A and B are shown apart, each in its own frame.
Chain A
Amino acid sequence: MQRQILKGIKIFDFGWAMMGGQATKLLADLGADVVKLESMTHVDFMRTNGFLRSCTSRNDPNDKPYSSWLNTSKYGLAMNTKHPKAKDVIAEYYKWADVVFENFSPGKIDKQGFGYEFAKSVNPDIVFCHASIYGQTGPMSRQAGTDGMGSSVGCHRGLTGWPDRTPVPNSPMVFGDMLTPLVCASGILAALDYRRRTGKGQEIDFAMLDAIAMKSAPLVLDYAANGHVTKRDGNHVPYASPHAAFPCRGDDRWCAIAVYKDEEWQSLCRAMGDPEWCRKEEYRTFEGRKAAQDYIEEQIGKWTADKDPQELMKYLQERGVPAGAVQNLEELIDVDPLLKERKYFVPLDHPVQGVIPHPRPPYMLSKTPADQDTMTAGPWLGEDTFETATRFAGLTDEQFVELDKEGLFV
């Protein structure tokens, strides 16, 4: 099978920040030609975010692994879109492209004159994709937003935390910023397949809130059917008990243990040496354990307190009990076998930092995996301006030089 399975898909990409980077990266890593438009006049903040003190400077837009991670396998085009000749050149890219992708604040791309109507006028069957926090329509659509804001409105953040304390965020992790790109990548491929079969392009509105809210379907159904308003409840869930992180030996060390089935409770009791307290008849059923969960979890915590979390996980798993050490990122990346065995981090040659690990998409295709052969590090700002302008937008060398002199390609 041809390795770069999405080769032949052509995307013109206004995407920026995390959501805009990741959405088209997922397609580029498997072969799609993605031209990422940027400009020195308005630098993507993934190129200005200096949070990695050890390897990034304040002013160099090209030394940020953040930008490279989110834009692997793309071409880099630098162009000032406010330049009077930008529209003509963008029209040429639109003629070349199958897909245009953007995630500015809703309305902005139309205001700039590069929206769907313009795109259709030069390329009638183009697939034009918007991504945003709240969507292109509706009263909240014009509000600026972040991952945290989408998570808040979307019934995620407010339900994370202890019942007697303030809800807590999940940062530095994100949810919507990485979930929405998956929906975008799926939708783009689906729309291209639809075009292949019908000849028709379309405009698509992807919204982070729509994607996050889909996850809350069971909570909304429970509320509508039963009047039950789910609240934050620590590590407890309605379908398993006991279900918690238990203290282990050492500083801030924990092991998660879950009992989903009644036979797993029996296994856990045997693994603990069948102490007196767990022999109660009521505990044999989920309902009985759920009713006494605080007491049961306190007793289990006493048993786990002097044990190493990794050894405990192994001991319990060997005895049929679902258990997992609460790993920090050092353990996940350096110790845990999973990401290594699945080659999740792909070493790629970064323009400034040399060979550094980059994540591949979170799925593995058995015959055509995304790896060193299909992926490249993210481009430096404007790395492929000449190449894409001449090869994709069809400019002659002379035209390129002329426009460059006029200050278009910055």
Chain B
Amino acid sequence: MDTGREIGNARPPLMSGYRALDLTDPQGYVCGMFLAELGFEVIKVEKPEGDPGRLRYPFIGGSPDKEKGIYWNSYNVDKKGITLNIETEKGRSIFKELVKKSDVVIESFEPGYLDGLGLGYAELSKVNPKIILTSITPFGQDTSRRNYKGGELICDALAGVMDNIGDEDRAPLIEPSDTCTFYANIAAATGTITALYAANLQGEGQHVDVSIEEAAASRNPQGEMSWIFDRKIAKRMGPYSKYGIAKVRTVWECRDGFVNWTLFAGRMGAKGNAALSAWMNEDGLENPLNGIEDWNNFDMSSMTEKELDNWEECIARFFRNHTKKELGEEGAKRNLSATILAGPDDMLRNEHLISRGYWTELEGPDGTVLPHPKYCLLSSETENFTRKRAPFLGEDNDSVYKELGIKTPLKDLKAEGVI
């Protein structure tokens, strides 16, 4: 399809013309970033001293610096930045002026905090009946645990995520780079766009309430069905996965890393299994898969544990014999269905992503050029691309407050600690 990647800035994004005010801390950055990619003008509203998430480790160059946080710079791209102290009366009244001219407010404070300031949904909707308030919190707005302290690890633990991951003889594990928080943020963006779609037609906004624990739990339908209907609980089992009754290895060591490959039964595994068997023969390795002729009707549920162990041992020998590059590139030609377990370095070198124009280069906070994901979807009509680095502290105060028509000079507001 023609995605218009070569045409430069010719095409607009899907949602230009909408504005979101982003009050979040690190557990809510991604929602606004996603809306910004789709074309929203997203204004990150920080305390005058800066969002504490700016100081989250690690940093570009290594040492703590408000403008160089890697987390900050990754997930706040395409946002404008202003400072505003909503804990002052003047700050609150300026905030309400902003709300009048916005479509969405995103926040991740402890439930009740905004109500306490007189900036909860009830108050904001008086100022702008169409406003959508989106809250991203560990345990939701109205639950008995809403004031518990959260964080990725705590939500993962409670949501049943960790119980499924890891080796049986060690502690349960989390996934990398705050997976559940990220996922909850995309859920929050979806809820926001859904509410906005309705507000445009019905003239009324609402409060979108996302719980990170609930979002994390929503990723496990198979596990939840197993408990609800079969009263069975899948336990963590290292590099293995369970498909039906069969427990099969999914992660294999190769010469210079690891690959993902699964012995599937039936049509699902037919091509990959046949390709593996043929390649094992070419390598001259012991190959117990050799006897199978009809892979479409292959079913390992009739195999004994001893047979499966022997298969695993021989297959493991094959993978250890090859590099990631061979298994990825030559394997693709052979329909092996093996994929490398990529690290960040592999991702940046991935030819498929490069050919799709996935990485874009943005000027970093220190002036060097750094890679960022460019899009989350490609379209024949619109360009939903990342175009600007994360904002410096208060970078857009002048232009945003000017547009708002704030009469008090900014230097006075600064002196009063409002911005």
Contacts and interface: CB of A to CB of B under 8 A. Distances in A.
A357 B228 CA distance: 8
Interface in A233-253: 234-235, 237-240, 243-247, 252
A210 B344 contact: no
A137 B6 CA distance: 14
A364 B209 CA distance: 5
B229 A65 contact: yes
B173 A363 contact: no
A148 B375 CA distance: 22
A221 B225 contact: no
A189 B228 CA distance: 33
A116 B183 CA distance: 30
Nearest to A364: B209
A368 B364 CA distance: 42
B80 to A, nearest CB: 19
A153 B356 contact: no
A339 B172 contact: no
B355 A138 contact: yes
A172 B242 contact: yes
Interface stretch (A74-82, A87-95, A198-206, A393-401): A198-206
B288 interface: no
A144 interface: yes
Interface stretch (A51-59, A96-104, A274-282): A51-59
A1 B262 CA distance: 49
B346 A155 contact: yes
A240 B151 contact: yes
Interface in A173-222: 173-175, 178-179, 182-183, 185-187, 189-194, 196-197, 200-207, 209-211, 213-222
A327 B214 contact: no
A69 interface: yes
Interface residues of B, number: 155
A370 B111 CA distance: 22
Contacts of A182: 183, 186-187, 189-190
Interface stretch (A316-324, A381-389, A402-410): A316-324
A332 B159 contact: yes
A328 B188 CA distance: 25
A327 B163 contact: yes
Given A167-B251, A239-B56, A224 B186 contact: no
Contacts of B253: 166
B93 interface: no
B166 interface: yes
A293 to B, nearest CB: 13
A216 B177 CA distance: 7
15 contacts: A2-B198, A140-B332, A143-B337, A146-B262, A167-B239, A172-B220, A173-B222, A194-B15, A216-B344, A217-B74, A255-B157, A256-B156, A258-B154, A328-B160, A338-B140
